[in-house]
């Protein structure tokens, strides 16, 4: 993901390996990649110049070729009991996403978005009614966590739980979601344990897609964190009323290694012939 000028790389978009690769190309060892990574996700620095321990040449190179994207707060609203704050965060292209911070003692939770809008179109959901605008990049998903972590740090608290339950369907933006999860769970950075991450998926699984590749993705997501599938089960008992009926095109299979394939259906039992009478 690049900035408006299409020149600068957002550091939040890079995985730990990609960052090390980039620095190696500039002639810096993995030790410096560790410093930059720790500055980004432990110290939560706002600019490359704020990172400590970097050689001046590396600082100049980072400032010239990279950026750290921040999400501007457009508005925020508190719940009546004061335990929840919802942020409307602005992206570089002018779009806005919602991120929610829930203050529970010892288990502060962030609810983050994975898309601008949503293609699923659940009728009870305002995001579903606004339609799909675009996918978020891994860096834009991670930046929401950084924003929440900064707010909590000012209060002397620490983020514990993450739910991918904001705007968008995580499976629809699978690649960026998985890349963001890798960054969020990295033990040298934010170090959020997988068991504290919950990913809420579109209610019609299985059924929204009958593709093996999607099942493989779902399984990987499940292995990575707790994927809450079909958690709106009570609503899904009346499909079509609350959620759109499963359509093969609901979740595009991208990139799908195999052609779409129907699930195995057992053959119907053949009618038994009446026993033949002996002559």
- Which position among 39, 128, 138, 246 is part of the footprint of ligand SF4 (CB under 6 A)? 128
Specify the stretch interacting with ligand SF4 by CB under 6 A; choose among 37-45, 96-104, 119-127, 181-189. 119-127
If binding is defined by CB under 6 A, does position 171 make contact with ligand SF4? Answer: no
Give whichever of 7 and 129 is closer to ligand SF4, judged by the CB atom.
Answer: 129
Return the SS3 of 199: strand
Of 134, 176, 162, 142, the residue nearest 228 (C-alpha): 162
**Chosen residue from 169, 174, 197, 251 binding ligand SF4 by CB under 6 A:** 169
- Nearest approach, Cβ of residue 168 and ligand SF4 (Å): 6
Determine if 122 is a binding residue for ligand SF4 (CB under 6 A): yes
Count of residues of this chain found to bind ligand SF4 when the rule CB under 6 A is applied? 11
User: d(Cα 11, Cα 146) in Å, to the nearest integer?
Assistant: 12
Q: Which is nearer to ligand SF4, 61 or 243 (CB)?
A: 243
Of 44, 125, 235, 256, the residue at the interface with ligand SF4 (CB under 6 A) is 125
**Measured from the CB atom, is 71 or 120 closer to ligand SF4?**
120
DSSP 3-state assignment of 8? coil
**Distance from C-alpha of 115 to C-alpha of 90, rounded to nearest angstrom:** 13
Judged by CB under 6 A, the stretch of 76-84, 103-111, 145-153, 165-173 that binds ligand SF4 is 165-173
Half-sphere exposure in the Cβ direction for 208 (13 Å, CA): 25
* Shortest Å, Cβ 197 to ligand SF4: 17
If the CB atoms of residues 100 and 118 are measured against ligand SF4, the closer one turns out to be 118
Which residue in the set 202, 211, 217, 246 belongs to the binding site for ligand SF4 (CB under 6 A)?
202
Residue 222 half-sphere exposure toward CB, CA atoms < 13 A = 9
Residue nearest to ligand SF4 as judged by C-beta position: 128
Identify which of 206, 184, 183 has the alpha carbon closest to the alpha carbon of residue 197: 184
The backbone region for 23, taken as left when phi is positive above 0, alpha when psi lies in -120 to 50, beta otherwise, is alpha
Using CB under 6 A, pick the residue from 45, 100, 108, 118 that binds ligand SF4: 118
- Piece of the chain touching ligand SF4 by CB under 6 A; list 120-128, 154-162, 180-188, 216-224: 120-128
Sequence-distant contacts of 181-185: CB under 8 A, at least 24 apart = 181/224, 181/225, 182/15, 183/12, 183/15, 183/16, 183/41, 183/138, 183/142, 184/142, 184/145, 185/224, 185/225
Query: Would you state the structure tokens that stand for residue 91, as one six-digit string?
Result: 């992206």
H or E, element range at 236:
helix 233-236
Are the C-beta atoms of residues 88 and 76 closer than 8 Å to each other? yes
Told to check if 246 binds ligand SF4 by CB under 6 A, we report no
Position among 167, 197, 214, 225 found at the interface with ligand SF4 (CB under 6 A): 167
Query: What is the binding site for ligand SF4 (CB under 6 A)?
Result: 118, 120-122, 125, 127-128, 167-169, 202
């Amino acid at each position: 993901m690049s900035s408006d000028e299409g020149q600068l790389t957002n550091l939040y978009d890079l995985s730990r390996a990609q960052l090390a690769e980039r620095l190696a190309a500039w002639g810096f060892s993995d030790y410096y990649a560790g410093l930059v990574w720790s500055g980004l996700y432990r110290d939560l620095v706002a600019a490359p110049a704020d990172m400590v321990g970097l050689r001046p040449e590396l600082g100049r190179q980072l400032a010239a070729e990279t950026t750290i994207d921040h999400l501007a707060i457009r508005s925020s609203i508190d719940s009546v009991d004061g335990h929840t704050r919802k942020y409307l965060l602005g992206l570089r292209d002018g779009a806005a996403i919602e991120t929610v911070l829930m203050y529970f003692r010892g288990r502060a939770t962030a609810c983050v978005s994975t898309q601008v809008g949503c293609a699923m179109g659940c009728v009870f959901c305002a995001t579903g009614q606004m339609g799909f605008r675009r996918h978020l990049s891994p860096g834009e998903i991670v930046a929401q966590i950084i924003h929440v972590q900064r707010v909590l740090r000012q209060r002397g608290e620490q983020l514990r739980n993450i739910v991918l339950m904001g705007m968008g369907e995580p499976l629809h933006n699978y690649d960026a979601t998985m890349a963001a999860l890798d960054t969020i769970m990295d033990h040298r950075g934010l170090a959020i344990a997988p068991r504290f991450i919950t990913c809420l998926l579109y209610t019609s699984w299985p059924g929204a897609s009958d593709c093996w590749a999607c099942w493989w993705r779902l399984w990987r997501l499940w292995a990575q964190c707790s994927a809450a599938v079909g958690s709106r089960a009570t609503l899904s008992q009346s499909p079509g009323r609350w959620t759109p009926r499963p359509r093969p095109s609901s979740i595009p299979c991208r990139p799908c290694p195999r052609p779409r394939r129907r699930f195995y259906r057992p053959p119907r039992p053949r009618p038994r012939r009446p026993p033949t009478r002996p002559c």
